[in-house]
Each structure stands twice: as C-alpha cells, then as structure tokens.
Amino acid sequence: MNELEYYRQHSVFSDPREFAALWDTIPSTIEEMKATITPLLFHYRGDGDWAENGITPERIAEVNLRYAADMIACIHAINPIVARETRLPNERMVGCCRDWALLLVSLARHHGFAARSRVGFSNYFMEDWWIDHTVAEIWDETEQRWRLVDAELHGPWTLSSGKEVNPLDISREIFLPGLDAWKGVRAGTLDPDKFVVHPDIDEEALRGVPYLWHNTVVDLAALNKHEMLLWDVWGIDTQEVNDDGAELLDEVAASQTLDERQRLFAMDEFRVPEKVLSFEPDQGEPSEVTIRTA
C-alpha cells in the first residue's frame, strides 16, 4: 500500500461508523468540509467562560472523547449536523484542537482524501511563542502536495504584522509538526524555551524539551493513524528526557517515508499499547485507558 492510499483509509479513531451516511451529506471540497467542522466544537480553554456560554461544568468530560463516531454522536444529539450550519456555544461539543483536526480528517477520509492529523506547535496565536496545537494535513490532488488545514480557526487569522493566515493552507513557517520542531531544536535553529502549552503554564513537563519530546511521540503516532488525546502518555513518553531517548527521537524526526515511520512506531518505545495513561483535564491523577483496536 502506498502512502496516499494508507492515509485515505480510516483509523479506529477516525472511522465515523454509523454516521457514514451523515458524512455523505457534507460537500466534498476541503473548503466545505472545513466550514462544516469549524462550528461543531467549543474549546475547553480558549472559547471563553463556560457559564456565560450556557455550558454546564460536567460537560468538561466531552473533551476526553477520543473516537470520531463518539464525538459525532455527542454533537448530533445536541443538534443534528448540517453542512456549514452555525451553532450557539452551548450547541457545540466541548473539545480542543485535536478534536477539530480528527473530525476534519474523518470527513476527508470518508470522501476519499488522503488525510492525517499533525501534532505540533503554532506560531500564529502568539507570534513570540510556539503554542501546542494540532491541525489536519490533507493531500491536494491538484497541486500534488500536503496542505495544513486548521479547522479551529473560524476565519482568516491576522498576525500582529498585519499578515493574514489562511486556515485552508497554513504556512509551514508558522506551524511546525512535532517531528519538525524536534529537528529544529536539536539542530540549534529553534529556541526550545519558546515551545509551550501556554506561556502562563509553568509546569516543567508542559514546556521546553520535555514537551517537544511529548509532541514528537504523539505526532509519530498520528502519522501511524493513532490520533491520540494530547494528554495520553505511553512508552518512551513515560520516561524523563535522556540521551538515548533523544537519539531515538532524532531518528524519528529524520524519517521521511511511511515505511520508516511504521518501522519506528513498531518499536516498544513508540507503539501505542493496549492501555495508556491519560492526564485528563481537571483530574488530579492520571487514569489508565484501554485503547480500541477495532
């Protein structure tokens, strides 16, 4: 199987299952698919006060939904999904960037696009910082290239310089997948201290080299169609930063082909096991979660 055919096929995570017929109703252009996915989610940290938007606190658990079919069911139960329909905040599923990306990947794969999630860092939310972020990467058959598509952005995003960010074709100068971010930091061309979940979060594991380590692992998993929650940890990611692990991540960052990335993902250090630890938001201790295989 070649690379594009591999990414046209659903993963356990992206499969819409019983909602495949619903995905049939959405027009099959990148623009229309993105326009349909964007209004379906409310960011659990970035979209404002919960109560003011009519969202009850117990709905935080929605951010831990990990399979597209479960996410679609949650949204559809609130209000049926219709192409390009706008929604009030309390009619959206509580989620994060990973969920926008996965739903877009699910819809794109359903319509025959090669598509994948990329876990990395954005430079367009705060231009002095590389902020933890996930977007979809969709193969443009006409231009014969991968396009980064950010379904979280509701419209053109303007940088402080005045330059507009096109959410349908994000520049690779302002979004770095985990593999590329690790490579740049290890080469000395990027400052590791600028890579964070958010500048105001001081927790050591959520900034700098430890978080670059984490996102490189999660990005490799996404390239192997394991679109994990951003707070899942397993394998090498349960270890503290060390020289042997860093050299393995150098090999991951240098990989170019699907075969290379599948070989690396088959290693015990990177392969997603049956159970992972998940540091769910607002929970004191991580929980052990069983990952579906079918």
Mean pLDDT along residues 236-248: 96
Using pLDDT thresholds of 50, 70 and 90, give the confidence band for residue 279: very high
State the CB neighbour count (10 A cutoff) for residue 182: 29
Long-range contacts of 246-253 (CB under 8 A, 24+ apart): 246/186, 246/213, 249/182, 249/213, 249/216, 249/217, 250/182, 250/183, 250/186, 252/179, 252/182, 252/216, 252/220, 253/179, 253/180, 253/182, 253/183, 253/186, 253/216
Region of poorest pLDDT, from 105-114, 152-161, 183-192, 235-244: 152-161
Using pLDDT thresholds of 50, 70 and 90, give the confidence band for residue 184: very high
- In the chain, pLDDT over 90 holds for what percent of residues? 89
Using pLDDT thresholds of 50, 70 and 90, give the confidence band for residue 283: confident
User: Given this model, what pLDDT does residue 263 score?
Assistant: 98
Q: Which three-class secondary structure state does DSSP give residue 135?
A: strand
User: Given this model, what pLDDT does residue 262 score?
Assistant: 98
pLDDT of 161 strictly over 80:
no
State the CB neighbour count (10 A cutoff) for residue 85: 13
Using pLDDT thresholds of 50, 70 and 90, give the confidence band for residue 234: very high
Which tokens go with 220? 């490799």
Residue 230: which of 247, 250, 216, 248 has the closest Cα?
A: 216
How far apart (Å, rounded) are the C-alpha atoms in residues 80 and 125? Answer: 31
User: Given this model, what pLDDT does residue 286 score?
Assistant: 92
Question: What range defines the domain where residue 95 resides?
Answer: 3-290
Say what angle helices 178-186 and 208-223 make with each other, to 10 degrees. 140
pLDDT of 158 strictly over 90:
no
Sheet containing strand 232-233, strands side by side: 232-233, 275-278, 287-290
How far apart (Å, rounded) are the C-alpha atoms in residues 278 and 287? Answer: 5
Mean pLDDT along residues 251-266: 98
Total structural domains within the chain: 1
**Sequence letter at residue 115:** A
User: Given this model, what pLDDT does residue 25 score?
Assistant: 97
User: Given this model, what pLDDT does residue 278 score?
Assistant: 97
The string of pLDDT tens digits covering residues 19-32 is: 999 999 999 999 99
Mean pLDDT along residues 183-212: 96
Which tokens go with 8? 């046209």
Contact 170, 148 (CB under 8 A): yes
**Sequence letter at residue 254:** A
Using pLDDT thresholds of 50, 70 and 90, give the confidence band for residue 189: very high
What does R_g of the chain's alpha carbons equal in angstroms?
A: 18
- In the chain, pLDDT over 70 holds for what percent of residues? 100
The string of pLDDT tens digits covering residues 40-59 is: 999 999 889 888 999 998 89
pLDDT of 162 strictly over 90:
no
Mean pLDDT along residues 136-152: 97
Mean pLDDT along residues 75-90: 94
**Sequence letter at residue 229:** L
Mean pLDDT along residues 119-133: 95
Using pLDDT thresholds of 50, 70 and 90, give the confidence band for residue 199: very high
User: Given this model, what pLDDT does residue 50 score?
Assistant: 87
